[in-house]
Structure 1
Amino acid sequence: MTGPRQPDEASATAGQGRPEAGYEHIDDDVCRSFQRSVEIVGKKWSAAVLLAAMRGARRFVDYRARIPGISNHLLSQRLRELEGHQLIERLVVPTTPVQITYRPTAQGASLMRVLHPLIEWSAKNG
């Protein structure tokens, strides 16, 4: 199976009266995969945690500093969930005391590259 094609931006934005132009070829399996992806990043605080990771947060306190308003409990939960989805990697540094760091995986960085236009859109339309 080939991956989904990008909709033709010109046809999608030229006001041709068919907003669905360029999306007809997407099958149900791709729709389900897309829905799962949206549910992962759409869960409260998940996108903020991923963005903090991409902006250089590594230790728990770094994430707390970059995500105002998130509780310790919820941050721990989101880090575990994102690790489970293989978007964040948890590293144990064998020092005294032991340090735990987190960083985006290649898959997490790939997802954030796809979401970058949404970040830009949000900054403009916020």
Structure 2
Amino acid sequence: MTASAYIPKNPVQIECNIEKTLDVLGGKWAFLVLRELFCGTRRFGELQRSIPCVSPRALTSTLRHLEKKGVLERHVYPTVPVTVEYTLTPKGEDLHQIVREMKLWAAKWT
């Protein structure tokens, strides 16, 4: 018998709320985006200036991910040029305490 014969065809899915939370938080830029939005509504350019290491493509991807997960809302205003603002939803605001606790932990242990 080959090694693949021992792998179950339908692996059991384990529900893990921590894993779900980490999925919502997304990649490495999400925490920095959240940090900025905890202070209030921001435009794309403001976010990019406040997180200088992030590329426009990575920032766009992070914002789309957080919007898809219901953490932030994107508001488009028909100006010339178009104005786009990002605001946390109540779901996103609830992440503030989690991020704050992670910051305190890091300050204590790292």
TM bin, normalised by shorter chain, reads 0.7 to 0.9
Aligned residues: 97
With the length of structure 1 as denominator, give the TM-score of the two structures. 0.67
Q: Give the equivalent residue in structure 2 for 1:107.
A: 91
Q: Kindly indicate whether the alpha-carbon contact (under 8 Å) linking 2:26 and 2:65 is maintained by their aligned counterparts in 1.
A: no
Partner Cα distance (2:40, 2:95) in 1: 16
Amino acid at match of 2:38: M
Which whole-Å deviations, capped at 9, do the CAs of 1:62-96 have from their partners, x for residues lacking one?
Answer: 11122120000000000000000000110012323
Mapped to 1, the partners of 2:96 and 2:67 lie a distance apart of 15
Distance 1:95 1:85, change over 3 A: same
Question: 1:57-72 residue pairs with structure 2 within 5 A?
Answer: 58-72=42-56
The residue type equivalent to 2:62 in the other structure is: R
Aligned-residue offset at 1:58: 0.8
Amino acid at match of 1:110: D
Structure 1 residues 42 and 76, CA gap change in structure 2 (3 angstroms):
closer
Which ranges of structure 1 fall in alignment gaps of 5 or more residues?
Answer: 1-27
TM-score (norm 2): 0.75
The answer as to 2:22 corresponding to 1:38 is yes
Which residue number corresponds to residue 89 of structure 1?
Answer: 73
User: What is the alpha-carbon distance in structure 2 between the residues aligned to residue 36 and residue 115 of structure 1?
Assistant: 15
What percentage of aligned pairs have identical amino acids? Answer: 33
Opposite residue 73 of structure 1, the aligned amino acid is R
1:75 aligns with one of 35, 59, 84: 59
Question: More displaced, 77-86 or 54-63?
Answer: 54-63
Amino acid at match of 2:99: L
2:46 maps to amino acid:
D
Deviation at 1:124, TM superposition (A): 4.3
Taking only aligned residues, the RMSD between alpha carbons, in angstroms, comes to 1.9
Distance 1:123 1:62 in 2: 27
Equivalent pair of 2:44/2:85 in contact (CA under 8 Å):
yes
> In the alignment, what sits opposite 1:20?
none
